[in-house]
Amino acid sequence: MIEFLKRLFGQQGSSATAKERLRLVLMTDHLELAPEMIEAMKRDLVELISRYVEVDRERIEVNFERQDRTLAMLANIPILGVNRPNGNGAVTHEAPKPQPEPVATVAAPPSDSKPPVRKRKRRKKSQRARTQLPSTA
């Protein structure tokens, strides 16, 4: 029905498809052309997350993936250990435990994406559910 209305008001031609494809392809092009930006982002990401948990800096992976009509950043950051908060909320560093690494997957929608559609919200929830912290050994 919405499609029908869009057609009625002349909003949805193949030019809309072209525009959408162009937007996505340029985002990936620009990322591809800025490897140093991705490296810097990785560094910042590790720095941020390391404030809370101990991560395996060598094995961090950042990928970009097309999902429906958006580009998503998927960061795979193996967690080695969780710093235990002390009384005042500050963290104390523990030695990394040589345990099989659980993995935190973070999906970040691109900043200029449209307001998330319902379908997207659901995915984000399921992703959050998958985000596991290491069980105390």
Alpha carbon 117 to its chain centroid, in Å, reads 17
Asked if residue 19 binds other proteins (CB under 8 A), the reply is yes
Q: How far apart are CA 114 and CA 105, in angstroms?
A: 22
Concatenating the DSSP letter of every residue in 21-32 gives HHHHHHHHHHHH
Q: Which residues contact 29 (CB under 8 A, 6 or more apart)?
A: none
CB of 14 to other proteins, least distance (A): 5
Reading the block at residue 92, the tokens are 């104390």
CB-nearer residue toward other proteins: 88 or 111 = 111
Asked if residue 2 binds other proteins (CB under 8 A), the reply is no
Selected binder of other proteins within 29, 44, 68, 94 (CB under 8 A): 29
CB of 37 to other proteins, least distance (A): 13
Asked if residue 12 binds other proteins (CB under 8 A), the reply is yes
Reading the block at residue 79, the tokens are 């967690």
Selected binder of other proteins within 21, 66, 93, 122 (CB under 8 A): 21
Asked if residue 25 binds other proteins (CB under 8 A), the reply is yes
